[in-house]
Chain A
Amino acid sequence: MSSPAPLKLTINGLPVATVAPAERVLLDLLRDDLGLVGTKRGCDLGTCGCCTVLLDGRPTLSCLTLARLVEGRTITTIEGLAPPGGLTPVQRAFVEHGATQCGFCTPGFLLTATALLRENPRPTRDEIVRAISGNLCRCTGYTKIIEAIEAASTGAP
């Protein structure tokens, strides 16, 4: 391990002061150092999207992001999406449409979908498909995930 250096950033609305060696990726910082294990390690090579977090509001692969390079920036993980005990409209739509099976990919999908609806509140089906094309699900086959995001976008139950 190279020598750890101090690192300050904002995670889920709270200021965090920690240390990280140069080679620490954001995913490991979140899971191993800060205990935020909602962010999942899938392929660890940028292919699957399970490790997606929001970096200044934009979906980003935490497995390919060096922690030191996000000094001073704002991170949202799945733990910070909704207030404790509550669900966001996108999360509620995933529950109501059965858009999750094993659940491993779900945090990544929820963060990608949340950012999509913030940028484009009424996406077409094609725009949804393109937006989630970097998140892989090996259980559901995507139909229910797309339907859930569509429902969240229109506010329909």
Chain B
Amino acid sequence: MHLDPFELHRPTTVEEAHRLYAERPAGADYLAGGTDLLPNYKMHLNLRPTLISLDRIPELARRDGARVGAMVRLGDLERDADFVGRYPGVARALREIATPLVRASATLGGNLLLETRCFFFNQSEFWRASLGYCLKADGDRCHVVPQKERCYATFSGDLAPALAVLDAEVELAGPGGRRTIPLLDLYDRAGDGIRRTHLRPGEILTSVLLPPAARERSATYSKLRVRPSFDFPELGVAVAARIVDGRATELRIALGGIETCPRRFDELTTPLEGAPLDGPRRRELAAAVQAAVRPVHNTFLPPDYRRRMVGVYVRRALTEVVGATAVP
């Protein structure tokens, strides 16, 4: 499986990367670890004539406590005792991503901006041509939900939900300036599913910021997949809460692997702020999250099973995080 020819650039500053991007109207992709982009390029999925590697930009590889550069390799982050000690829920998600070999190259930013996945997309060109191309690559109709407007491919990153329950933010640098936004605001839930983020043309995700409150929360992450040693999530569940005097506050629940974007369920958790989260209430909350999701049939496991597992995994995660508290 060979890569088609492309131009390759290795800028040393974010500004140089922007300039290279702007000078290539035929299109360019930024290249981080390559563990997602290069397999997709080998399968001829949405090729661009230029790759701009971000591996030589020192700013993107910095790590200082609560700020982690987007080009930090996942394998380095999981070996960082300080980071793992501060954010054990994120560390759990980290160790569940792919394999140690993939994590040696894969990056934090790459995982947050992972291409969405689908039966009908992650296939060789021959396979896709035989069936007829799909909306997400080379075609004009979706094979999962037959229509021509929206792509239903699944967001399969593990870190986004784990970071979202800690209220993480992302720093973005674009040709027009820099901005910091909540992590989940990066994802375009209302879009057509092909454009998955609110990144502006040429904009680069430079780092992830964890607020001080993140260290005060108990957090967990669990993942449903077919092969526990390798696969992308069929469902990823992150739960975090601040436990003070036996009461849970700042409760957050986030899911990945189930819809086009990672999603947090503040509309269900905010009304419970400070309420005792006993067994019946945890079951009720897990059932409400389950009722709110609509997986489609585009990954290995059937959507109804995945939806029911949402209830099971959320209930277990809630029990792990808040179940031990001495609720009155």
Contacts and interface: CB of A to CB of B under 8 A. Distances in A.
Interface of A: 1-2, 21-23, 25, 28, 44-47, 49, 52, 55, 58-61, 64-66, 68-69, 112, 130-131, 133-135
Contacts of A65: 34, 105
Given A64-B34, A134-B100, A23 B4 contact: yes
Interface in B2-54: 2-8, 10, 31, 34-35, 38-39, 42, 51, 53
A131 B35 contact: no
A128 to B, nearest CB: 12
Interface string B100-128: 11101100000000000000000000000
Nearest to A21: B5
Given A64-B34, A64-B35, A64-B38, A47 B230 contact: yes
B171 to A, nearest CB: 24
B5 A44 contact: no
B46 to A, nearest CB: 16
B8 A133 contact: no
Interface in B219-238: 229-230
B193 interface: no
A58 B99 contact: no
Contacts of B101: 46, 49, 52, 59-61, 112, 134-135
B157 to A, nearest CB: 16
A137 B148 CA distance: 42
A65 B104 CA distance: 11
Contacts of B104: 55, 58-61
A4 to B, nearest CB: 11
Contact of B102 (A21, A46, A131): A46
A40 B8 CA distance: 25
Contacts of B35: 46, 61, 64
A131 B3 CA distance: 29
B6 A44 contact: no
B1 interface: yes
Contact of B5 (A1, A25, A61): A1
Nearest to A59: B101
Given A60-B105, A65-B34, A69-B55, A49 B99 contact: yes
B262 interface: no
Contact of A22 (B5, B34, B99): B5
B75 interface: yes
B100 A44 contact: no
B105 to A, nearest CB: 6
Given A134-B100, A134-B102, 6 more contacts: A22-B51, A23-B8, A25-B38, A46-B38, A59-B101, A65-B34
B272 interface: no
A133 B99 contact: yes
Given A61-B105, A65-B34, A134 B5 contact: no
A2 B5 CA distance: 5
B98 interface: yes
A103 B31 CA distance: 33
A60 B7 CA distance: 23
Contacts of A66: 8, 31, 34, 38, 53
A39 to B, nearest CB: 13
Contacts of A52: 101
A133 B1 contact: no
A55 B34 CA distance: 15
A44 B7 CA distance: 21
A74 to B, nearest CB: 15
Contacts of B2: 23, 28
Contacts of A21: 5
B100 A131 contact: yes
Residue from B5, B7, B53, B100 having most chain A Cβ neighbours under 10 A: B100
10 contacts: A1-B5, A23-B2, A46-B102, A47-B230, A58-B104, A59-B104, A66-B34, A69-B53, A134-B100, A134-B102
